[in-house]
A and B are shown apart, each in its own frame.
Chain A
């Protein structure tokens, strides 16, 4: 059971907006920035958001991230069928001296 808690699944229809939450605690999200990864079945993860809300080059601005206190969120607007994937949050934990990943959220585009 991960110390970063994500809902196991989320779903929304094309064109709509969906948010995925990530709940942590003081030593991790409360003290450090949050990153988000996208993973399609059978492939390696891809960095989607870093430093809470920064997008790497090539990531559409439909994807956005935010953080407040010990929680973070990933929002996807203008949902497309190709956004159907697993999404993971991650943060460094100062107490454990290691990286934590959330359990992952499987996004279904209805």
Chain B
């Protein structure tokens, strides 16, 4: 069974930093692109970043470019999201998600984690 388990969320002050992790199991991790999608309270889904299976290609939404870094460690079956200079509006549930192919482009996300909540507040 494919499973994605996020961790690392919590309360952080504006301007602070945070690293989210997502441990994958049940599939050949390095063969698939991975993504981060967030959802602010009461709002819709927002894709923020994707990374290819090898980690060689990364993509970011304009709204977060320069403030987040996506990475992966295929030896540990783990996806990361490093966030810095956090703003109040970054408060959301952050979902880790698996792509249907090795490239993050074009192919749908087919499996989602349960999400980890990030709250940016003073």
Contact = CB atoms under 8 A, between A and B. Distances in A.
A94 to B, nearest CB: 9
A101 B44 contact: yes
Contacts of B59: 97-98
Contacts of A90: 45, 47, 108-109
Interface stretch (B15-23, B66-74, B83-91, B112-120): B112-120
B35 A99 contact: yes
B61 interface: yes
Taking residues whose C-beta sits less than 8 angstroms from the other chain, chain B's interface range is: 20 to 34
B108 A51 contact: yes
B61 A98 contact: yes
A56 B47 contact: no
Can you list the 6 inter-chain pairs with the closest CB atoms, starting with the nearest? Answer: A99-B47, A44-B112, A35-B108, A50-B108, A104-B44, A101-B45
Interface of B: 35, 37, 44-47, 50, 59-62, 95, 100, 105-106, 108-115
